[in-house]
Amino acid sequence: MRLRKAVIPAAGLGTRFLPASKVVPKEMLPIVDRPVIQYVVEEAVAAGIEQIVIVTAQSKRAIEDHFDTHFELEARLEAAGKQRELEEVRRLTKLAEFIYVRQPAPLGNGHAVLCARRAIGDEPFAMLWGDDIVISAVPCLAQLAAVFEQHGKSVAAVMQVPREDIPKYGVCRAEQIAPRTYRVDAMVEKPTLEAAPSNLAVVKEYVLTPEIFDELERTPPGQGGEIWLTDALNRLAARGKLLAYEFEGRRYDAGNKLEFLMATVELALQRPELGPAFREYLRDLELGDRS
């Protein structure tokens, strides 16, 4: 079955970006002039996704508004002759069909995915984190979708990380079965360096078969009383139904302050209307120790 639906869990509190995220969802923080979640949505659309289910919370109304029509703004832009800006604002509403589902309480990322079950139905779907960006020639999700179409199994996006960063991630115990492709035996969440089975970290997104919903239904609350997606994925892995793909592209964890800044700088440099002047500014900037 063709991959046409995606889920983006975006109900978290975004505590790593407080106080900015107190009233502004972290997914709405701008990288240059686009909120983080727009990059995620545009990647999904570029990979062929037609329907996007965004799992939100009470404080996340700005996400819904961003992809909705804004009559007053559009009228003012049209009256001012700002056609380029008008087209960009209108384009957002046409990217995909958007469905919004509320997660009633912070019960874990697995519970957030489970909230989308009725909207997804009995179809495979993509699951993308709302603050994780990959810039690549071929959309990261398209890379994963190709593996899914070949094998018919759930697929996790992975990348090799430096040894010192391993405890920050979920890490795969896996066997390589093809170039950049692995069969996953288990996923270990934030292991110590001594216990880490590899340096293949799970990041960014998944392509999941609908059986993940049954596994999530059977998953008891774990750490913090929350339902964790990793626990359900490990049961798929135990049955030989989980693969990992080492994607090609530059990944930014935009929920991390340093990588958010790096993404802002690097993506600004790629913009033809900003890049030359910004690059010149950076060359002239005094970067000595100002402490």
pLDDT in tens, 25-49: 999 999 999 999 999 999 999 999 9
Its pTM stands at: 0.93
Q: How many Cβ atoms from other residues are within 10 Å of residue 233's Cβ?
A: 26
User: Percent of the chain beyond pLDDT 70?
Assistant: 98
- The answer for residues whose C-beta is within 8 angstroms of residue 257's C-beta and 6 or more apart is 16, 17
Instruction: Name the pLDDT band for 288 (thresholds 50, 70, 90).
Output: low
Task: Pull the structure tokens for residue 97.
Answer: 């069909």
User: What HEC string does 163-220 produce?
Assistant: HHHHHHCEEEEEEEEECCEEEEEEEEECCCCCCCCCCEEEEEEEEECCHHHHHHHCCC
Instruction: Name the pLDDT band for 222 (thresholds 50, 70, 90).
Output: confident
Q: Which whole number is the average pLDDT over 9-21?
A: 91
pLDDT score at 224: 80
Q: How far is CA 151 from its chain centroid?
A: 23
pLDDT in tens, 71-108: 999 999 999 999 999 999 999 999 999 999 999 988 99
pLDDT score at 290: 54
pLDDT score at 289: 57
The pairing of strands 242-246 and 181-189 is: antiparallel
Residue that is written with structure tokens 């996953």 in the block: 184
pLDDT in tens, 103-159: 998 899 999 999 999 999 999 999 999 999 999 999 999 999 999 999 999 999 999
**Backbone CA torsion sign across 113, 124, 201, 160:** negative
Alpha-carbon distance of 20 to 107, in angstroms, equals 23
pLDDT score at 228: 93
Helix axes 36-46, 140-151, angle to 10 degrees: 40
Q: For residue 95, give the nearest of 134, 42, 145, 33 by alpha carbon.
A: 42
Backbone torsions φ then ψ of 174, nearest 5 degrees: -150, 160
Q: Which whole number is the average pLDDT over 243-268?
A: 96
Residue 276: HSE in the Cβ half-sphere, 13 Å Cα cutoff:
2
Amino acid identity, position 236:
L
pLDDT at 279 over 90: yes
DSSP label of 290:
-
Strands annotated E in 64-180: 97-102, 125-128, 132-135, 154-160, 170-178
∠ CA 16-21-27 to the nearest 5 degrees? 85
Instruction: Name the pLDDT band for 291 (thresholds 50, 70, 90).
Output: low
Contact, 121 vs 210, CB < 8 A?
yes
pLDDT in tens, 224-247: 889 999 999 999 999 999 999 999
Task: Pull the structure tokens for residue 23.
Answer: 């009233």
Q: For residue 25, give the nearest of 131, 162, 148, 178 by alpha carbon.
A: 131
Alpha-carbon distance of 250 to 254, in angstroms, equals 12
The structural domains of the chain, ordered by start, are 5-271 (3.90.550.10)
